[in-house]
Amino acid sequence: MVGCQSILATGRPWVVQLAVAVVAAILGANESSMHRVTVFPSPESQGVCATSVTIHGYKCEEFDVVTQDGYILRIQRLPMGRMGIGSRGNRQPVIIQHGVLVDGMTWLLNSPEQNLPMILSDNGFDVWITNTRGTRFSRRHQFLDPSQPKFWDWSWDELVMYDLPAVFNFVYDRSGNRKIHYVGHSMGTLMVLASLSEGRLVDKLKSVALLSPIAYLSHMTTALGVVAAKSFVGEATTLFGIGEFNPKGEPVGQFLKLLCAQPGVDCYDLLTALTGNNCCLNSTTVDLFLQNEPQPTSTKNMVHLAQTVRDRRLTKYNYGIPVFNLLIYGDLAPPPYDLSNIPKDMPMFVSYGGRDALSDPRDVQALLDSLKLHDVDKLSVQFVEDYAHADYIMGVNAKDVVYSQVLSFFTKIPS
Ligand SMILES: *[C@@H]1O[C@H](CO)[C@@H](O)[C@H](O)[C@H]1NC(C)=O
Ligand SMILES: *[C@@H]1O[C@H](CO)[C@@H](O)[C@H](O)[C@H]1NC(C)=O
């Protein structure tokens, strides 16, 4: 935590501080890890299916889905199990949604025996992997270009309003109008919770599995949380200065290097500081992760997530100046997302880790409290004492500890 304190003390604009904290934490950066060179085939040139799925003997299809506000999202589908085991068709669809600053590739980094999409595929599911707007395969728009600030004028409100509905409609059509299971990690949980609280997706969702759920963030004990809470001043400027938040960008990278070279700054500790003390990461997988992530998002999205930390409640994006909120929402304050509106009979599985510093157990308790009127037989909760945030996607034992539970949760729901 000493490292975090010195980041806080730099007096840089908060957005930059946030960028540094996040990047350092996500990269688990130290000089050695930043310069490590291992050559993996590049998904940028060949696509995710070719580099990460078909090489393991799975069929894989890529589609473009257009959102109502014009973004073109790439999604991947594993329509059948390894070596074509199990027929195509008559499979229950599952949508798998990643968190912030990463893309759908994160699910595929562990070996085929260990990663969630392939496990689900081998167990008879029709698996669909999303890539949120702004990440490398979803940086297209019908009229806008990523070089234009307007391209980045969105937060997770828009992911709720446009990205998820577009993907759900697409998958629903392709699977003969079958209801869809959903797995979300981190921001992917926030997206579906917010959707359900507004009555969205309800008619197309079969069940929801939430890994490292994020809804309330007030107990977050991380660099990100502290930074966001302490130095929050940027809202009004983002109204005019919206743009891309690119963790791999030159300015952030340069600053990060400088920072990590300073005496007393232990960037390795930042990984722990942000995501918690992950118990079970595989170094080969972490190498792959460093090659593929982090991915860009919008500055506005980062601001919105930080607002959630600061305000201790879940609302739409706050423009900071009441009159702007009035113009956009017809109210001086942004409208809340009320999680008690989530349909009581929606089957839900929640798994959270005792060492997760982003999805703090106390905040998960607050989430569970807001679901206290949920039908008891429709809500199952798993607590994994030694798990932190990244263990849920890269843990060597996630298959046995978590994915097996997800699988049995899905399997128990009558089709
Ligand atoms: C960072 O450095 C330490 C010691 O120098 C090393 O043990 C650790 O594996 C490195 N972290 C990463 C993520 O490479
Ligand atoms: C780590 O990942 C590699 C590559 O996917 C895999 O071959 C290996 O079995 C994994 N190690 C453990 C302990 O699971």
pLDDT of residue 346: 97
* CATH number, span 2-411: 3.40.50.1820
Q: How far apart, in whole angstroms, are the C-alpha atoms of residue 205 and residue 203?
A: 6
The 10s digit of each residue's pLDDT in 154-205 is: 999 999 999 999 999 999 999 999 999 999 999 999 999 999 999 999 999 9
Q: Is 112 in the pocket of ligand 1 (CB under 6 A)?
A: no
Q: Is 356 a catalytic residue?
A: yes
pLDDT tens-digit profile of 29-55? 333 444 444 445 577 778 899 999 999
Whether residue 141 lies in the annotated active site: no
Ligand 1 in reach of 287 Cβ (< 6 A) = no
- Nearest CA to 114 among 395, 382, 388? 395
268, 283, 291: residue to mutate for ligand 1 pocket, most atoms within 8 A of CB = 268
Task: Pick 230 or 319 by higher pLDDT.
Answer: 319
Q: Which helix (H) or strand (E) holds 93?
A: strand 92-97
How many angstroms does the Cα of residue 60 sit away from the middle of ligand 1? 35
| Residue of 85 and 272 predicted with greater confidence | 85
Q: What pLDDT, in 10s, does the model give residues 332-351?
A: 999 999 999 999 999 999 99
Please work out whether the CB of residue 32 comes within 6 Å of at least one atom of ligand 1: yes
**3-state secondary structure (DSSP) of residue 209:** strand
pLDDT of residue 235: 46
Å from CA of 33 to ligand 1 middle: 7
The whole-angstrom separation of Cα 409 and Cα 66 is: 31
Q: How far apart are CA 228 and CA 215, in angstroms?
A: 16
Give the pLDDT of residue 2.
32
pLDDT score at 174: 94
pLDDT value, residue 101 = 84
**pLDDT digits over 222-258, tens only?**
554 444 444 434 544 444 356 787 777 765 555 455 5
User: Does residue 120 or residue 45 have the better pLDDT?
Assistant: 120
Q: For position 240, what pLDDT does the model report?
A: 39
- The DSSP-derived string for 279-309 is S-B-HHHHHHHHHH----EEHHHHHHHHHHH
Asked if residue 405 has its Cβ within 6 Å of ligand 2, the reply is no
Residue 303 pLDDT grade (very low, low, confident, very high; cuts 50, 70, 90): confident
Closest CA to 390 of 296, 285, 310, 257: 285
Peptide bond into 294 cis (omega under 30): yes
- Express each pLDDT in 57-75 by its tens digit: 999 999 999 999 999 999 9
**Residue 93 banded pLDDT, cuts 50, 70, 90:** very high
Atom of ligand 1 nearest to the CA of 30: 1
Residue nearest to atom 6 of ligand 2 (CA): 111
Q: Mean of the per-residue pLDDT values for the chain?
A: 82
Least confident of 41-45, 111-115, 266-270, 353-357: 266-270
**Mind listing the pLDDT tens digit for each residue in 349-374?**
999 999 988 888 999 999 999 999 99
- Percent of the chain whose pLDDT exceeds 70: 77
| Length of the chain counted residue by residue | 415
- Check pLDDT > 60 for residue 269: no
* pLDDT band for position 20 (cuts 50, 70, 90): low
Sorted by where each begins, the domain ranges of the chain are 2-411
